[in-house]
Structure formats: structure tokens, C-alpha cells
């Protein structure tokens, strides 16, 4: 690593397991926590182009493999978690938690309630086109700021993002620094009630007290659960996993949750390999028994073993 002056924190061989919800994985060669956007821009501009960069949020939808991550992991902190509201536009720093943005918007009479039960931060929500109850980031996206791999700061419009179900096509190595949403007007009290109902439904059906990374696989139907009373469960990931007889399946310390079979959990002793191998076994069995190719929703990154 060249001697690059930074105002944030640059740490060598930084363990990452404690920064992910699943609590697994090896270290980053380097972890950079920039002080602000200018610090990030200057660092990326000076970083040799052959050094890989991986932007990491709060690790809510991520398996870091046991060998860790080569190059530089960039994790945004306090300098990137502000929320401001101007008319129908809600702008949130990429490190702001989805839940905090939903609550802040609701208090100002703006409806981004679909974000309330989505784990993680806004940068990750954009990258994954996160959604719930039939609404997605794409439905409310107005613009985003990002620092490109060469250090340039750019504004991204919808045409630059290429939204799809549970994915986007962002520039390679780009680090999202803030996202602006367009939000409809709503009564603050009614919006608070909606979010309370959503939380109650989530806690009744999902293993929120276990170490998980949210939904493991994308729904084969190509859309998220709407949460409506007339919603059907055919072609939902949990249903095809159940039909393959894999609810509660285990490998080492990894388990497909008994409460919700599309949640991969660390029972306490799992390695990243346990988790990924169990997920691959589920994909294999579902394909063999039902002809359905499940796609990972959890991002898996890094080396299986250290070099």
C-alpha cells in the first residue's frame, strides 16, 4: 500500500467478522474509513488502479469468506449518515440506516415506510434495489452521489443505475455517498402506525433475534413479498425450500431457520464456508427436485482461504 495521506482511518489486516451480521469471515487487507467525501475522493484518486476496492455497508446482507478480502474495503461512518428533507425530496447519507431514514421521513410527513423493516444502510439499499411490501428503492429514486474508482465525484440518475429485481448495475468500484428519494406526503401518525404494523409482522415471521443476513435467496417469481392479505406464496423462495424438505437443514454451525426457511443463520459456531456450502446445497436440492434455480440475494465476497 502506498503512503496515501488520509484524514480518516486506514487499518491493515482488519478483521471483518465483527462488522457483519453473520459474524463470519476473514480480514480485509486494508480497511479505509474516510472522514468525508473529499477524503474518500482523494484516497481513491491516489490508490493504484490495480488495487481492488470493495464498498461495505453495515454487513447486513453479506458473507465475507474465511480468507478475507483482497485490496481495500471501504466502510463509511458518521460523516455519511445525515438525513435532510426538502419538500418531497429525502436525502440520506449512504451510511444512514434504512430504518432511521424511514422514521425521519415519516416524522416530516413523507412516506418511505417500506424502508422501515429492511436491514442495512442506504448505500446497500440502493446497490441491491432493496424492497418490501411491493415497493422498491427504484420506485422512489431521484438521484445519488458517488465517488468513482478514479476519485471523481459524480451524480447518478436512474439511467446510470439500471435497476432490476434485487440488483443494480453501478460503475465498478463506485462508492455511493448519498441517495435522494422522492417521497409522497403522508400523515405522520398514520405512517408511524404503518411502520409499527410492519415491525409486528416481521417479528412474528422472521428470526430477528438470530444471526442472519436477511433473505438468503431471491424469490423465483421475480418480486418481493407484498405483505397483502391476497398475496400468494407460490414461487416464493421459502416455499420452494420447504418443498425440498430443507427447513431447518444444517451444515456445521449453519442452519436454514426453522422459523423462516429462506433465512440462513449462524447458530454460533458457523464458518463462512459452512454458510455458503449449506446455501449451495439448498440450491442444488431445489434444482434437482423442482427444476428451479435459486439465485443468491446475499452477497458473497472474498477468498475461501488466505493466500
Residues catalogued as catalytic: 166, 215, 297
Residue 43 falls in which region: left (phi positive, over 0), alpha (psi -120 to 50) or beta: alpha
Q: CA 71 to CA 181: how far, in whole Å?
A: 32
Q: CA 221 → CA 20, 94, 258, 278, distances in Å?
A: 28, 29, 22, 22
Place of cell 465517488: 147
Sequence-ordered list of residues with C-beta below 8 angstroms from that of 172, at least 6 positions apart, any chain: 149
Q: CA 219 to CA 307: how far, in whole Å?
A: 35
Q: CA 237 to CA 56: how far, in whole Å?
A: 26
**Number of Cβ atoms within 10 Å of the Cβ of 204:** 9
Amino acid at each position: 500500500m502506498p503512503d496515501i495521506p488520509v484524514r480518516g482511518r486506514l487499518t491493515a489486516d482488519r478483521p471483518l467478522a465483527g462488522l457483519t451480521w453473520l459474524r463470519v469471515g476473514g480480514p480485509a487487507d486494508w480497511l479505509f474509513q474516510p472522514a468525508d467525501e473529499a477524503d474518500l475522493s482523494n484516497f481513491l484518486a491516489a490508490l493504484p488502479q490495480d488495487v481492488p476496492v470493495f464498498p461495505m455497508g453495515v454487513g447486513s446482507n453479506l458473507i465475507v469468506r474465511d480468507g478475507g478480502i483482497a485490496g481495500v474495503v471501504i466502510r463509511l461512518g458518521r460523516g455519511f449518515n445525515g438525513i435532510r428533507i426538502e419538500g418531497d425530496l429525502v436525502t440520506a447519507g449512504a451510511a444512514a440506516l434504512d430504518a432511521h431514514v424511514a422514521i425521519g421521513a415519516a416524522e416530516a410527513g413523507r412516506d418511505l415506510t417500506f424502508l422501515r423493516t429492511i436491514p442495512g444502510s442506504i448505500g446497500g439499499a440502493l446497490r441491491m434495489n432493496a424492497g418490501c411490501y411491493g415497493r422498491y428503492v427504484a420506485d422512489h429514486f431521484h438521484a445519488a452521489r458517488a465517488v468513482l474508482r478514479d476519485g471523481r465525484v459524480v451524480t447518478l440518475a436512474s439511467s446510470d443505475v439500471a435497476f432490476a429485481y434485487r440488483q443494480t448495475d453501478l460503475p465498478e468500484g463506485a462508492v455511493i455517498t448519498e441517495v435522494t428519494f422522492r417521497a409522497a406526503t403522508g400523515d405522520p401518525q398514520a405512517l408511524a402506525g404503518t411502520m409499527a404494523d410492519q415491525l409486528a409482522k416481521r417479528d412474528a415471521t422472521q428470526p430477528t433475534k438470530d444471526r442472519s443476513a436477511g433473505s438468503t435467496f431471491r424469490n423465483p417469481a421475480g418480486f418481493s413479498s407484498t405483505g397483502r392479505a391476497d398475496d400468494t406464496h407460490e414461487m416464493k423462495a421459502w416455499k420452494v425450500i420447504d418443498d425440498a424438505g430443507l427447513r431447518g437443514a444444517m451444515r456445521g454451525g449453519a442452519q436454514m431457520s426453522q422459523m423462516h426457511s429462506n433465512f440462513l443463520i449462524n447458530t454460533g459456531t458457523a464458518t463462512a464456508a459452512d454458510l455458503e456450502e449449506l446455501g449451495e446445497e439448498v440450491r442444488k436440492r431445489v434444482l434437482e427436485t423442482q427444476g428451479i434455480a435459486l439465485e443468491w440475494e446475499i452477497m458473497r465476497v472474498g477468498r475461501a482461504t488466505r493466500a
